[in-house]
Structure 1
């Protein structure tokens, strides 16, 4: 399914609001388009209509007295009233003349030496005529003043009503647009939680954030600005064309030729703009990823004096983005207002050519009022055309952004399950497990071991030996390629990741804290965890007195990643967070490797409480932290090369013993040097 169809489906989620807004828009457009019709009526009926035949009358209603005789326009005479003694008023330039011998008024008129001449084709008509004074002219226009004022007041009232409908359609259309983009962002964010960890390993955070923020913002412009303008413009154009056909079918067909040109215009613009917009959106993602990486690593950049290199790299990305923006700007300039102006002039040329030679007057097919109304509608026609043209860049950007967003949403993920399972005993078996992050590059090879409930399992080995991979498989961040991992005898692939993780806890080497408070980081906003439970967890890990110095205690504000707290405080929060969740299986991933000895001593005292009643896996850098483990697994290149207790492994004098002696020797050397 194309991005356009999927964006349309999202629009259907607010179809009732959109249809209501379009109904308001239709009323608003209809009211607004009455202006030229009212102007035409004023011109043809009440201004140039003065050149209609006038007749003597005895009735004074809507009649005008001239030289002692009352005259009334034919328009205001009853159908059954006799037509006697016809006279006529003709306008020649700025002069109005009175004649008792009516002439055709649809030709070229002239007045000289008291003679009115009218030329129609090859024929000329003439008669004696008397010029009217200003007061006499105003007297003949007096019956028209009240209808003109009434029409103007009626038009003003329509504009007031139309303004309310226009406000309503804009409000509801944009309300629907914001609701649609809200749903899209929620769906996109929720989908991220379903994506496997493997996806985030290969996608920089800045690029993901760019799709959630920048790309969805571009799509928001589609619903808020583009569709609003397109809907408004299309309905406005339909109304204008209806009005044009009511005025003059022949001239309306000339203007109808604008539609295929506009469609071709949109198709060609999208063809050339699409590639440029794809590059621009991609560059924005790269810029965001670069900024995110540089901000996160600013301390390293400054420590190694790499500010200039970082700036140069960013400048190259920024410059590439700038060049693509210039290309798009050039395309928009060529196909924007200038092209619209050319089309407008071409339409006017067509109209002029069509009406060339056509006389204008009260008796002609094309009156002055009709011509005025038609020119007004043509001018109005290019207002929606310009709005559509000006929104084409936003339309194409939104379409490209939609492709990128839906590409992310189409990534295969795992549905977040509400399934729950009873708390496991913690019997963990790895049975001949093999795993590779990349094809044909196994990091775990035929791994087999058994962790009984309540045991502590130590995992040691050099970097790349597979320690963290074991934890990734246990948490189902990844699934094994071969073999089985069983908890209490059940293959974990048969358990939803969410149900499994409800009974597992983890403490990482680099604890991750969220913006909020100490309390919100301990409970992770789980309402089932009470404040008393959080305080008890801190006490059990022997961290209660560490937080006694904080003014707000558990309510102390935590900035991004806990930057305002010490590394020891962050780690203690991480330990307490794991404990308060009461997991059946606990993983400590080199949890004490980045803290000082004093804090480590505090944590070690709390570890016994932390490990009590649960199966614990400890990935150890400092071997002293796993001396009391029930089982120690020594890994090398994805295989278990040694296993046993600390004492058993020391007796074997193998790889573990060598590592232990080496660490103690380094510690002893460091102490002597100190």
Structure 2
């Protein structure tokens, strides 16, 4: 419920205008300021062409038609066609330039967000669900693009049109202009009421849509569990409830639009009727020329179009301000694992690892590692065992500096990992996890990760040495066989073999294996054990395992219990001591009664 509430809160709308946020957004437009300037000039030109059309019509009627001047009429018609053509071209160019600027600016913003997210530590991802981060990078940025593409500039165009039309009317005849504005006192409250209801409706629709997306994501991801326990009908009923709520909100939006826009048309028609009634009387009294009335009718049509648009632009502005606030909140999140002032970068490590009285906590006051101290010599193979929750994986987190230790230090080649350049350090460590992550693409790309430093020959050799080549050759296309999302078409054992090939292809001096053979069948495990004995030569290795049979060949075994080192020695030494390791071994391999 807490996370669901978080998704809903994400969709709450803020103010329609926030100067602080606008100033930050303008920084992304600044590199394209000449495009923005061109767009504004084109906007003025488009508005000018819209204002000239009715005035040319007035001249054609009152000056040339009244005087039966065919030549002058032809020139007026030509001038009118030129305004239409120039208006079309300027509007096309203005729309292109503003959309081009918005897309380039939002491209830059997306790159900045993605780069910023990549720099964050793992604790950041513990606090921020994947769906929320995807919303920031995709949905929120797209909302901001809508602000630039059809929000701010279109709003400015509407305001220019309103001011220009009103000025042109007053210049032509102030009496008819006042009649044209007569319906405004009635129309403004209607517009305000629509804007208020549309805002609430838009907020509700976004909130329900977020709830629907979260529910769909959860159900599709957990479909195997739902089907295994026969819960399809219950989940379908819940989805129908959310979907019905979303439908009802959208229908209400249709109702508001069906009332508001015809209402604006009604006020427009009433205004035209008043003009024809009063203006007609003025023509009969010879107080005004017929062309003025025709021009006013055209101006009225141009006057009410921006009013319709302004109500819609208000929602765009509100959504954009809310999106920008969420995006900038993400960008303002500081890296908790800051780089040192003078980070150390080495081309190749010797591979020495040392933990010195290390204490690590994920939650304040609840240490997971408690005074851990041990040293691994270059090329030494050390296994770490213990019950679930003993702190085995936390040792990897501290070594790779996914989290910072609260006390003590973790050293690689005698240097505290907090003094290393984080990325340089991690490029020296090969990591094989129990939960293998495969990317969409092909087999080759999942081994090399697209790194040009890993040649095809080296990749194939790595696959061969971990016995992955056999099953790869059976796939359609071999190394170019398509890998579906998260490797869904491969077995767990095959995915694990690919992770072995990936780690070996990158040839890191330090190799870490976290429960790497726990999901591999016995036959495959024997192949991997055979490969590891050869491949681990010359590398420092930390091997975390529950299956004690997989670590008997290592140089040393460290036994963890509740965040502390309880025992240390070879497999035979630990069995002979009759301690915790011996009991774990007996529990794992004693015959079932």
State whether TM-score is above 0.5.
Answer: yes
Q: 1:308 to 1:158 in 2, by over 3 A?
A: same
Whichever structure has more strand as a proportion of its residues is: 1
Residue 564 of structure 1: aligned partner: 489
2:136–2:327 CA contact under 8 A, matched in 1: yes
Aligned residues: 572
Cα separation, partners in 2 of 1:402 and 1:278, compared to 1, 3 Å: farther
Describe the superposition over 1:1-49 as per-residue Cα deviations: whole angstroms up to 9, x where unpaired: 74444334333343322221232232233223222112211222234x4
2:110 counterpart residue number: 185
Alignment of 1:336-375 (within 5 A): 336-337=260-261, 340-341=264-265, 344=268, 359-360=282-283, 364=287, 366-375=288-297
The Cα of 1:346 is off from its aligned counterpart by 7.9
Instruction: Tell me how far apart the structure 2 counterparts of residues 315 and 412 of structure 1 sit (CA, whole Å).
Output: 41
> How many Å separate the matches in 1 of 2:365 and 2:402?
20
**Alpha-carbon separation, structure 1, partners of 2:332 and 2:196:** 25
What's the counterpart of residue 302 of structure 2? 380
Secondary structure of 1:14's aligned partner: helix
Work out which of the residue numbers 473, 480, 483 in structure 1 matches 2:408.
483
Matches within 5 A, 1:121-200: 141=68, 144-200=69-125
Q: Distance in 2 between matches of 1:271 and 1:5?
A: 26
Contact 2:279 2:293 in 1 (8 A): no
Give the aligned partner of residue 219 of structure 1. Answer: 144
Deviations 1:254-297 (A, max 9, x none): 76899999999988877776666555445444433332332222
**Contact 1:508/1:591 (8 A) holds in 2:** yes
Q: Does 1:244 align with 2:169?
A: yes
| Superposed displacement of residue 590, structure 1 | 0.4
- Per the alignment, in what secondary structure is the counterpart of residue 359 of structure 1? helix
The Cα of 1:630 is off from its aligned counterpart by 2.0
Q: Which residue of 2 aligns with 1:513?
A: 438
Distance 1:484 1:282 in 2: 46
Q: Any conservation in 1 of the 2:176–2:279 contact (CA below 8 Å)?
A: no
Between the aligned partners of 2:268 and 2:549, the Cα distance in structure 1 is 84
Where does 1:408-447 land on structure 2 (aligned, <5 Å)? 408-413=330-335, 420-447=345-372
Aligned-partner SS, 1:435? strand
- Greater mean deviation of Cα atoms: 405-414 or 176-185: 405-414
Aligned pair in 2 of structure 1 residues 398, 322: CA closer, same or farther (>3 Å)?
A: farther
1:298 and 2:223 are equivalent in the alignment: yes
Instruction: Give the SS at the match of 1:484.
Output: strand
Corresponding residue SS for 1:430:
strand
Distance (Å, rounded) in 2 between the aligned partners of 1:550 and 1:37: 74
Q: Find the counterpart in structure 1 of residue 426 from structure 2.
A: 501
Q: Which stretch shows the higher mean deviation, 416-425 or 476-485?
A: 416-425
Larger Rg belongs to: 1
- State the match for 1:88 in structure 2: none
Equivalence for 1:590: 515
Unaligned runs of 5+ residues in structure 2 are 1-18
Shift of 1:211: 3.0
Say if 1:425 and 1:453, in contact at 8 Å, map to a contact too: yes
* Counterpart-to-counterpart distance in 1, 2:334 and 2:184: 42
The whole-number CA distance in structure 2 between the counterparts of 1:163 and 1:356 is 31
Q: Deviations over 1:205-246 (max 9, x none)?
A: 233323333333333322233345324323333432342243
Structure 1: gaps of 5 or more residues: 51-140
Instruction: Supply the RMSD in Å over aligned alpha carbons.
Output: 3.3
1-side partners of 2:245 and 2:396: how far apart? 42
* Alignment-derived partner of residue 37 in structure 1: 55
Distance in 2, matches of 1:344 and 1:646, equals: 91
- Give the conservation status (yes or no) of the 8 Å contact 2:556–2:569: yes
Is the contact between residue 506 and residue 588 of structure 1 (CA under 8 Å) also seen in structure 2? yes
Q: Is the 8 A contact 2:60 2:77 kept in 1?
A: no
Greater share of residues in helix: 2
From 417, 430, 435, the counterpart of 1:492: 417
- Once residues 357 and 270 of structure 1 are traced to their aligned partners in structure 2, the CA distance between those partners, rounded to angstroms, is 36
Q: Distance in 2 between matches of 1:454 and 1:196?
A: 29
Per the normalisation by structure 2, the TM-score is 0.86
